[in-house]
Every structure is written in C-alpha cells, then in structure tokens.
C-alpha cells in the first residue's frame, strides 16, 4: 500500500496560500476518488478539496484554521490495493503535479492539534491564551494542560521580573519514605488555587486614586429620592425624535447637575491642600465602566451644552473610552463627577469622591414604585435615588443637603 | 523504631482494644488457635472467654455480631476469607446497614467485620477475590481498606470505636509483605479520609490495598522517565473522600484508577463518575481505569494470576500512555 500526500492546491493564479477551514474526513475514514477532504479558503475563494486518491485518510498535517503555502502537504492518503498509484493517468489533472507518494515525516502528527480538553479550554479562556499558537506536546500534537501551564508560568515570571519580584520558591520536595502524613490544609499547586492577574496601568491608577481619596478625604454620604415620572415621559417623547445616538437618562441628569451647581459653587471645587478652588465652569466628570476598568472623562463647560449636545458628547466619550482612545485632555480638570450606577441595576450606592474633586453624585436605577402622593393617595411613580458623597473637609451636611434638595427639585420639574 | 507488619499491626490493635474495653470480643473461624493468618495469635489465652470459635457459617457469624452489638457489646467478627462473606450478605446489607435508620437514629450497631481479601497469593478462586464493590453499594456500611501498617493501626482502632457497622478489609498479600516502622499507640485518624501519598504534576493514580503499593512502585519507576505521579491512597471505600479525590484529580487533570477487582461495576467507575461530575473542567484526558479483567475467578495458575492482577508494570504502561495523551 502506498501512501500519498495531498497538498494545498492553487485556487486562482495569484493565490499563494490557503487556510484549512474544516476537515470533512477524519484519519482512518475511507475516501473515494474526488470525495471532498476538507474546506479551503483563500483570499479569493472558498472551496472543497476533492481527494485525488482513493483509500483511507492517513494523517491530517494541517489543523483547522491554519494557513499554509500552496503545495504544502495537507494530509496523507493510504491507498487501498488496486487504487491508482500516485501520478497515474486517472488522477485529476490539476492535482497530478503536486501530489507525491512519500511517508510522512516522523513526529509530524498533528491530528489532535485542534482538539482541546476541558481544562485546557478553561485555562486558555481565563488567561486569554491563544491555543493555536502553542505547539502541543501531547499525542497527535494535542495541547496539554502542562503546555498551557508553561505559558502561564512564563507570563508570571515575566510579569514578576518586570516588577522586580523574585519568583516564588518551589515547595520543598517530599521527604523520602513510604508514608507521608496528610497535610492539614489543601496544598494544591499554587496556580490551581489562584491566578495572578498583573495590574494594568488603568487598574493601578484606579487603585491609587481610590486609596488616596479614602485615605485623605473624610467622606460623608447622603441620599434623596426623586420622583422622575415626568423625566421618564419626557425622555420617551424625545427619544423617538432623537437620531444618531440612543438617548439615555444620563444627559438629562448631567444637564440638571450642571445647572444645579450654578447655585452651589461650593460643590464645584477641588481640594488643593491649603486652599479650596471653586471653579467658574462646570467640568463634569462622567464615570464610565470599560473592559479595562473605570475611567472618568470630562465634559468641559457642561452648562453650555443642551441635553442633545450632552448626549452626543457623552456618547463620543463612551465610545472612545471603550476603544481606549481617550486623550489626556479628556480626563483632566474635572470639577464634579456623575456616576450612572443605575446602569448596573443599583438602587443605592456609596461612591468614593474623585479626589481632588470634593463631591460625586450617583444616579440610581429608575424604578416604578407605589408612593404616597398629595391627598394621602397612593400612586405608582417612577422613582430614582440620588446619592452624594462629599469631602467633609471642604463642606458640611447642610450645604450638601441643600444641593441634593435643589437637584431633586430640578429633576422632578422635568416633564 | 520497631518494624511492624500489617499482620502485627492488626493483632496489636485487637490486643489493645480487648484490653481497653470489656465489651470488645472476637468471633470467627479458628480464632482461638490464632486464626489461619495468625491475626489472633495468643489473644485467646490472654483474654479468656473473649475470643470465640464459631462454626463455618458466615451468616451466623455476622448475625451473632449484629445481635451482640444490639446488646451493647463491641463485637469484632473475622470472616476467614472475604470470598466467604457473601453468605452473610443479607445480614450485612438488609439488617446491619439499616439499623440506625430503622430506629430513627436512636440505636446504633457498633460492630466490625474484619476479613482478608485480594489476590496475589496463588489462592485460587475461593481465596483471592475482591468483594468491596458489592458492599460499597450499600449505604450504611463503612468500608476501610488500608495499605500501610500505621493506617491499619489507626483505622482499625477508629473502626472499633465507630458506632456503625464497619467492614475492615485486610489485604492478605500485604500481611507479611508490607512492614513499617511504628512506635507506640496508633495515631488518631478517622474513617472517610483519603490521603495524597505522593505528589507529581503529570497524572494522578488512585489505588488502595495492595494496588497502592504497586502504584507507588510504578511512580518511582516513572519518575526516572520524568513522569511525575500524584498517588492517592483511598483508605476508605465507603463513603469515598470526594474532597480529596477531586483535589488530587484537579491537580493533574489526568486520572488513572487502579483496582484488582474486576472492571465492570468496580469502584473505579464510581470514582470516575465523581470526577467527571465535579471536575470536568479540570480534566486534560479521558479518565482511565486499570482493573482486573471481567472474568469470574482470580485464576490459580501463577502465570494466569499474574496476567489477571494489575501490577506496577501495567500501571507504568497505562500511566505512560496517559502522561503522553
């Protein structure tokens, strides 16, 4: 029995390489002449590859998803007795030139390269590892748990080296002897017990800012609830007419906060050691949760923008924040911060002041609740909690409470 | 420190139990003369009237044991060979296992049934069987099958102290084969705990009894090739120590379960199911079982018996394949 090799065909004149999309046969499967072996995609065309031989599929040399040059061996076919020898006239003309009978190189078995065990998939996902990039040491080129672990360990070593942290000492070897006392606590391999996640620059900055704020600024908190039934209706009406971006509650809220601050300049300020700087403009920070962590870009001079203008400006900041394309100018000189915690479903939260700003306000989820209204009647209203944390060094509860009351009044007036 | 064999560990523990508690007594075939394996050697003379010979009737032996436990005694029965225990199956499974349930926990049966089990001694079909799987299916009967003398000491002591029926399996091949330095009283231990005896990161081998020793020998041979094994001594077969089993399985993601009991319906299937159910996402290879072949008797002929029994060479072969998977 001869073994023949099937190679990557040239699908189009200028095509130099092709990608194996999917194998339609498995090693050991019987293959008839011209029966499809696999799907191939090139920059020009996708096609099924007919077998130039009759026999059994021997080995798959190119795993699914891999791109190889034209003429690169794709698989071997073990020809059954009586089948045409390679190069015989019965072969389709277009493949004859590129097929040759030969034994595959030893150790070139990649038949299991794309098959991943549960633990390999889980580790790869958790650590963001591209499995296709790992040369598997298992049978048939399978990527094993240890292969993935080696990549993770290597990353940890690199991260530790970058931080100047010496690598963790290996656990001492078990003493010689037949019986080893059972350890009291689980001593699973350390990588099984936890995963080291190196801190991204964003994460590090958030951590430093939060720690500094709680360390330096004694913070107090209060909350009011606002009846935003009118705002809900208003937004529903305007949302239909609004085009380009989705109109959320946030622009209304940002606008209301900015205008309320006009009457409360003591909250639109930054703490600078021995002085408090009150700002004439409201540069409104908008807290945005991104995949990389929390960022707080600023809408400068928020009072000058209409609700529609705020909606577009915030939308721009949000999309650039998610894309990681905020510029330094976008995040500087905020004077007051708004956090839309209601987007997470929260109905009450206790934010940390965005130091050196002195106050931060959250808008919580709008919920329909029965409330007591005028005339001791009970009505279903759209209610929203508004919470404020402030730096107690800079102002006291009276001013903060007055600000919240004014904010509530303005919110309830929207309709 | 003195070296103690498995057999001596059993005898010493029985001796101590007889000395410590008036309610403890032994019953079984040929016990007064010391028993066929000499596990009760000298005890009949030392504790007159408390080491009792019985007729060759296993159902009666276990039935009497149950009755004595009802009456507040602490009986320890010996079934001469585990192969004979099935004559008492109904007593164990239909009576002993359920007593505390039937009485809503008001009464217990503090009884132990000791019995030598396993092959590798050219004992032929009536003196070589593994019987654990039949009884491990029965909730209410604890099953202990240690491998090392120190564990025989502490777990037999724990079995005697246990308020529920315990089937204590003593691998007859290890009786004189396995020795260990032990000093003084047995260490405190409890039934229901497996032990990770060796740690390696390539694969995990589960075994008990004689097979645990074969697994440890195999692990040493594999170490030379660069294959590092975690080896777990199951110790208690019912209830299984799920926590340790899962910890050890997760540590490597590759699992080899070894027992000399026949494959189908053996404990390997249960252990494999526990791992598949709870540690699926930690598996790196299909779970592999290495067990006696599915034929009724352990053969008598030396060559055939060797072919039946898993041993370190077979474990090395299976482990190699698994490590390379």
User: Which tens digits make up the pLDDT trace of B22-51?
Assistant: 999 999 999 999 999 999 999 999 999 999
Query: Nearest CA of chain A to the CA of B194: how many Å?
Result: 9
pLDDT band, residue A90 (cuts 50/70/90)? very low
pLDDT at B256 over 80: yes
Please give the pLDDT value at position A112.
Answer: 82
Task: Find the closest chain B residue to A148 by CA distance.
Answer: B284
Distance separating alpha carbons of residues B167 and B113, to the nearest angstrom: 5
pLDDT band, residue A14 (cuts 50/70/90)? low
CB contact under 8 Å between B247 and A188, yes or no, is yes
Which residues are within 8 A (CB) of A160 and not within 5 positions of it... i.e. 6 or more apart? Answer: A166, A167
| Other C-beta atoms lying within 10 Å of the C-beta of residue A141 | 21
Displacement of CA A153 from its chain's centroid (Å): 22
Distance separating alpha carbons of residues A250 and A364, to the nearest angstrom: 11
- Which residues of chain A lie closer than 8 angstroms to B197, CB-CB? 179-180
Percent of chain A with pLDDT over 90: 41
pLDDT at B163 over 90: yes
A189 reaches B (C-beta below 8 A): yes
Distance separating alpha carbons of residues B154 and B176, to the nearest angstrom: 18
Tokens of A2: 């001869």
Average confidence (pLDDT) over A164-182: 48
CB contact under 8 Å between A139 and B284, yes or no, is no
pLDDT at A328 over 80: no
Rg (CA), chain B: 19
- A46, A12 Cβ separation under 8 angstroms: no
pLDDT at A99 over 70: no
Which of A114, A136, A144 minimizes the C-alpha distance to A38? Answer: A114
Q: Looking at the partner chain, which of B195, B254, B325 has a beta carbon nearest the beta carbon of A182?
A: B195
Name the one residue in this structure whose structure tokens are 């029985």.
Answer: B14
Per-residue pLDDT of B168-225, as tens digits, reads 999 999 999 999 999 888 888 899 999 999 999 999 999 999 999 999 999 999 999 9
Residue A155, Cβ density class (10 Å: 0-12 exposed, 13-18 middle, ≥19 buried): middle
- Helical (H) or strand (E) element with B117: strand B112-117
Per-residue pLDDT of A44-58, as tens digits, reads 666 788 888 888 998
Beta bridge partners of B28: B53, B78
pLDDT at A196 over 70: yes
Please give the pLDDT value at position A182.
Answer: 46
Which one is predicted more confidently, A173 or B279?
B279
Distance separating alpha carbons of residues B171 and B6, to the nearest angstrom: 9
Question: Among A189-193, A402-406, B226-230, B309-313, which stretch is predicted with the lowest mean pLDDT?
Answer: A189-193
Distance separating alpha carbons of residues A412 and A224, to the nearest angstrom: 12
Average confidence (pLDDT) over A95-115: 56
pLDDT band, residue A108 (cuts 50/70/90)? low
Average confidence (pLDDT) over B158-168: 97
* Residue of B70, B122, B126, B127 marked active site: B127
What is the sign, positive or negative, of the torsion defined by CA atoms of B62, B66, B67, B71?
Answer: positive
pLDDT at A84 over 90: no
CB contact under 8 Å between B197 and A122, yes or no, is no
Which one is predicted more confidently, A23 or A179?
A23
pLDDT at A177 over 80: no
Please give the pLDDT value at position A274.
Answer: 80
Query: Nearest CA of chain A to the CA of B240: how many Å?
Result: 16
- What values do phi and psi take at A101, rounded to 5? -90, 120
pLDDT band, residue A178 (cuts 50/70/90)? very low
Going by their DSSP bridges, the two strands A298-299 and A336-339 should be labelled as: unpaired
Average confidence (pLDDT) over B82-100: 96
Per-residue pLDDT of A239-256, as tens digits, reads 888 877 888 999 999 999
Q: Where are the alpha helices (DSSP H) in B1-148?
A: 6-20, 43-46, 58-70, 89-90, 99-102, 132-136
Which residues are within 8 A (CB) of A414 and not within 5 positions of it... i.e. 6 or more apart? Answer: A228, A230, A231, A234, A252, A256
pLDDT at A147 over 80: yes
Biggest CA–CA distance in chain B, Å, is: 60
Q: Looking at the partner chain, which of B199, B201, B325 has a beta carbon nearest the beta carbon of A138?
A: B325
Q: Looking at the partner chain, which of B195, B197, B253 has a beta carbon nearest the beta carbon of A145?
A: B253
Which residues are within 8 A (CB) of A84 and not within 5 positions of it... i.e. 6 or more apart? Answer: A53, A54, A90, A91
Q: Looking at the partner chain, which of B150, B201, B280 has a beta carbon nearest the beta carbon of A189?
A: B201
CB contact under 8 Å between B324 and A174, yes or no, is no
Give catalytic status of residue B259 as yes or no.
Answer: no
Which of B118, B137, B70, B122 minimizes the C-alpha distance to B260? Answer: B118
Which of A84, A82, A85 minimizes the C-alpha distance to A101? Answer: A85
Please give the pLDDT value at position A321.
Answer: 87
Displacement of CA B115 from its chain's centroid (Å): 9
Please give the pLDDT value at position A80.
Answer: 72
pLDDT band, residue A365 (cuts 50/70/90)? very high
- B111, B96 Cβ separation under 8 angstroms: yes
Percent of chain B with pLDDT over 90: 95
Q: Looking at the partner chain, which of A120, A142, A179 has a beta carbon nearest the beta carbon of B150?
A: A179
Distance separating alpha carbons of residues B262 and B309, to the nearest angstrom: 9
CB contact under 8 Å between A117 and B196, yes or no, is no
Which residues are within 8 A (CB) of A308 and not within 5 positions of it... i.e. 6 or more apart? Answer: A242, A251
- A265, A252 Cβ separation under 8 angstroms: no
Please give the pLDDT value at position A381.
Answer: 94
Please give the pLDDT value at position A331.
Answer: 80
Question: Among A2-11, A198-207, B234-243, B250-259, which stretch is predicted with the lowest mean pLDDT?
Answer: A198-207
Distance separating alpha carbons of residues A283 and A254, to the nearest angstrom: 11
Please give the pLDDT value at position A190.
Answer: 54
pLDDT at B257 over 60: yes
Question: Among A9-18, A286-295, A373-382, A383-392, which stretch is predicted with the lowest mean pLDDT?
Answer: A9-18
Tokens of B214: 């074969």
B223 reaches A (C-beta below 8 A): no
Beta bridge partners of B270: none
- A147, A137 Cβ separation under 8 angstroms: yes
Please give the pLDDT value at position A13.
Answer: 61
Average confidence (pLDDT) over B104-131: 94
Which of B113, B224, B245, B229 minimizes the C-alpha distance to B166? Answer: B113
Going by their DSSP bridges, the two strands B24-28 and B3-5 should be labelled as: unpaired
Q: Please state, in angstroms and as integers, the Cα–Cα distance from residue B52 to each residue in A46, B40, B65, following that order.
A: 85, 11, 12
Q: Please state, in angstroms and as integers, the Cα–Cα distance from residue A105 to each residue in A15, B46, B110, B271, following that order.
A: 26, 75, 67, 40
Which of A280, A270, A298 minimizes the C-alpha distance to A395? Answer: A270
- Which residues of chain B lie closer than 8 angstroms to A146, CB-CB? 201-202
Q: What is the ipTM of this complex?
A: 0.80
Please give the pLDDT value at position A323.
Answer: 83
pLDDT band, residue A350 (cuts 50/70/90)? very high
Most confident option among A67-76, A119-128, A156-165, B106-115: B106-115
Instruction: Provide the 3-class DSSP secondary structure of residue A292.
Output: coil
Distance separating alpha carbons of residues A134 and B253, to the nearest angstrom: 18
Biggest CA–CA distance in chain A, Å, is: 99
Beta bridge partners of A347: none
Distance separating alpha carbons of residues A158 and A166, to the nearest angstrom: 11
Average confidence (pLDDT) over B47-68: 97
Which of A327, A343, A337, A347 minimizes the C-alpha distance to A391? Answer: A337
Please give the pLDDT value at position A43.
Answer: 67
pLDDT at A192 over 70: no
Please give the pLDDT value at position A240.
Answer: 84
- B7, B14 Cβ separation under 8 angstroms: no
Between A and B, how many residue pairs show a Cβ–Cβ distance under 8 A?
A: 57
- Which residues of chain A lie closer than 8 angstroms to B282, CB-CB? 118-119, 122
pLDDT at A97 over 60: no
A120 reaches B (C-beta below 8 A): yes
Please give the pLDDT value at position A86.
Answer: 45
Please give the pLDDT value at position A40.
Answer: 84
CB contact under 8 Å between A139 and B252, yes or no, is no
């Amino acid at each position: 029995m001869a073994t023949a090799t099937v190679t990557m065909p040239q699908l189009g004149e200028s095509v130099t390489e092709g990608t194996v999309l999917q194998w339609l046969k498995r090693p050991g499967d019987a293959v008839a002449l011209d029966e499809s072996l696999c799907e191939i995609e090139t920059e020009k065309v996708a096609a099924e590859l007919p077998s130039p031989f009759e026999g059994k599929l021997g080995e798959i040399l190119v795993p699914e998803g891999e791109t190889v040059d034209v003429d690169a061996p794709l698989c071997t076919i073990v020809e059954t007795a009586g089948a045409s020898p390679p190069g015989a006239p019965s072969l389709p003309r277009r493949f004859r030139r590129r097929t040759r009978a030969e034994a595959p190189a030893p150790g070139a078995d990649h038949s299991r390269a794309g098959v991943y065990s549960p633990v390999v998939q889980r580790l790869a996902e958790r650590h963001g590892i591209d499995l296709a990039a790992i040369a598997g040491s298992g049978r048939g080129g399978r990527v094993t748990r240890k292969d993935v672990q080696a990549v993770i360990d290597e990353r940890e070593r690199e991260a530790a080296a970058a931080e100047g942290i010496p690598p963790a000492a290996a656990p001492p070897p078990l003493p010689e002897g037949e019986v080893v006392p059972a350890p009291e606590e689980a001593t699973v391999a350390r990588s099984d017990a936890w995963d080291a996640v190196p801190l991204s620059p964003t994460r590090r900055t958030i951590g430093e800012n939060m720690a500094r704020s709680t360390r330096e600024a004694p913070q107090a908190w209060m909350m009011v609830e606002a009846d935003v039934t009118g705002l809900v209706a208003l937004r529903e009406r305007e949302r239909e007419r609004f085009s380009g971006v989705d109109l959320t509650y946030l622009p209304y809220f940002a606008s209301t906060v900015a205008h309320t601050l006009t009457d409360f300049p003591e909250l639109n300020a930054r703490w600078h050691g021995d002085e408090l700087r009150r700002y004439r403009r409201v540069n409104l920070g908008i807290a945005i949760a991104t995949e990389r962590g929390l960022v707080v870009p600023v809408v400068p001079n928020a009072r000058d923008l209409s609700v529609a203008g705020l909606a577009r400006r915030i939308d721009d900041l949000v999309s650039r924040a998610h894309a990681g394309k905020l510029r330094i100018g976008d995040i500087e000189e905020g004077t007051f911060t708004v956090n839309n915690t209601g987007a997470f479903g929260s109905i009450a939260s206790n934010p940390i002041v965005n130091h050196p700003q002195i106050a931060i306000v959250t808008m919580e989820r709008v919920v329909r609740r029965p409330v007591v209204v005028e005339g001791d009647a009970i009505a279903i209203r759209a209610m929203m909690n508004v919470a404020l944390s402030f730096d107690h060094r800079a102002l006291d509860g009276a001013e903060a409470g007055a600000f919240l009351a004014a904010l509530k009044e303005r919110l309830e007036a929207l309709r | 420190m003195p070296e103690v064999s498995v057999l001596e560990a059993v005898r010493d523990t029985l001796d101590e139990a007889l000395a410590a508690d008036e309610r403890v007594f032994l019953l079984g075939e040929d016990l007064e003369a010391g028993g066929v394996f000499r596990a009760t050697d000298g005890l009949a003379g030392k504790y007159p009237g408390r080491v009792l010979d019985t007729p060759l009737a296993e159902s009666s032996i276990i039935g009497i044991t149950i009755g004595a436990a009802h009456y507040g005694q602490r009986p320890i029965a010996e079934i001469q060979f585990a192969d004979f225990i099935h004559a008492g199956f109904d007593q164990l499974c239909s009576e002993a296992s359920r007593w505390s349930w039937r009485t809503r926990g008001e009464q217990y049966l503090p009884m132990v049934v000791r019995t030598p089990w396993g092959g590798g001694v050219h004992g032929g079909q009536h003196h070589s069987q593994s019987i654990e799987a039949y009884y491990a299916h029965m909730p209410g009967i604890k099953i202990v099958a240690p491998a090392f003398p120190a564990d025989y000491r502490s777990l037999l002591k724990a079995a005697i102290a246990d308020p529920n029926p315990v089937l204590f399996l003593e691998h007859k091949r290890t009786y004189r084969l396995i020795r260990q330095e032990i000093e003084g009283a047995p260490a405190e231990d409890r039934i229901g705990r497996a032990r990770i005896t060796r740690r390696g990161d390539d694969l995990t081998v589960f075994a008990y009894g004689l097979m645990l020793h074969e697994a440890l020998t195999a692990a040493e041979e594999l170490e030379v090739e660069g294959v590092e094994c975690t080896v777990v001594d199951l110790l208690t077969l019912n209830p299984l120590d799920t926590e340790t089993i899962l910890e050890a399985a997760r540590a490597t993601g590759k699992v080899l379960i070894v027992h000399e009991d026949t494959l189908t319906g053996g404990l390997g299937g249960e252990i494999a199911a526990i791992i598949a159910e709870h540690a699926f996402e930690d598996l790196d290879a299909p779970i592999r079982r290495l067990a006696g072949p599915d034929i009724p008797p352990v053969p008598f002929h030396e060559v055939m018996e060797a072919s039946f029994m898993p041993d370190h060479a077979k474990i090395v072969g299976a482990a190699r394949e698994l490590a390379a998977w």
